[in-house]
Amino acid sequence: MSYPRSTAPCLDGTSHRGWCILNTSGWQDLPHTRLLADVSLWSADLANLAAGIERVDPFADSFHLDVSDARFAPSLLFFPDLIRALRPLTKRPFHIHLMVERPTTIIEDFVTSGADLITVHAEVGKSEAGAAIQAIVRVGRSAGLALRLDTPLTASEPYLDRIDALLLLGTGLGVKGQDLAPEACDRLVSAASMLGERRARVRLIADGGIRSHTVPLLRRAGADVIVPGSLVFQSQNLVETFSWLRAL
């Protein structure tokens, strides 16, 4: 795979074989001034994803696509050829959340299918997570790190200087329809404090338990991004729903 390269000084230290690697991800261009909606396509009508994207596209900031191997997480979800088929339907960034044991083996497939941000789990182990993040950054995409509810926030520390997003699950992994865990907001508060000056670059993503009564709590706790599913796809008035979200 070729790398997006520049001969300019590599101010962020992202380089490969002497070249500065440019981040060409659309995720980088999203605003930092309001709450972002990374809309989960898992909650769309899976028999008509094109219609779901068309309806939500004027409002979504990005689309969130969960990928699972049925080992790391219980479900079998989106795959590269499906991402590739959906990619021409929208210009919104695609966020690929890899809930898999060996993300390094499939990153290239998702990059070529149209990913902008690829998030891997810290629980796959330091060696695998570190190699995956390095592979994502080397091809000019944004890298994210995800933590399950029971994973200490300190597990993210080795990667904080290399990622663009830190995703905190607010429910159990890979199961829809769960309520937000009581500790989810406190974990966001602690994560925001841990990031410190990195908050200018690393966005905090709240994933799971996104409901009308939990979104204000998550936003106040420090979430920069939420991953809404049914909140959006079951909305009867998307203008009203997104106006409310963006005012938080």
Given a contact cutoff of 8 angstroms between Cβ atoms, the answer to whether 206 and 225 are in contact is yes
Residue 86 has φ and ψ, to the nearest 5°, of -80, -25
Given a contact cutoff of 8 angstroms between Cβ atoms, the answer to whether 97 and 136 are in contact is no
Q: How many Cβ atoms from other residues are within 10 Å of residue 24's Cβ?
A: 12
The yes-or-no answer on residue 161 being catalytic is no
Given the residues 38, 61, 116, 207, the one annotated as active site: 207
Which residue is it, tokens 């200018």?
A: 200
C-alpha–C-alpha distance, residues 105 and 179, integer Å: 33
The yes-or-no answer on residue 207 being catalytic is yes
Residue 26 has φ and ψ, to the nearest 5°, of -65, -20
Instruction: Compute the C-alpha angle 67/116/147, nearest 5°.
Output: 50
Given the residues 66, 116, 164, 224, the one annotated as active site: 66
**Of how many residues is the chain composed?**
248
> 59: closest CA among 216, 241, 212?
241
C-alpha–C-alpha distance, residues 54 and 177, integer Å: 24
Sign of CA dihedral 239, 47, 91, 148: positive
Quickly list H helices, the chain.
49-56, 80-86, 107-113, 126-138, 184-195, 215-221, 230-233, 238-247
Bridge partners (DSSP) listed for residue 205: 167, 225
Q: List the catalytic residues.
A: 66, 207
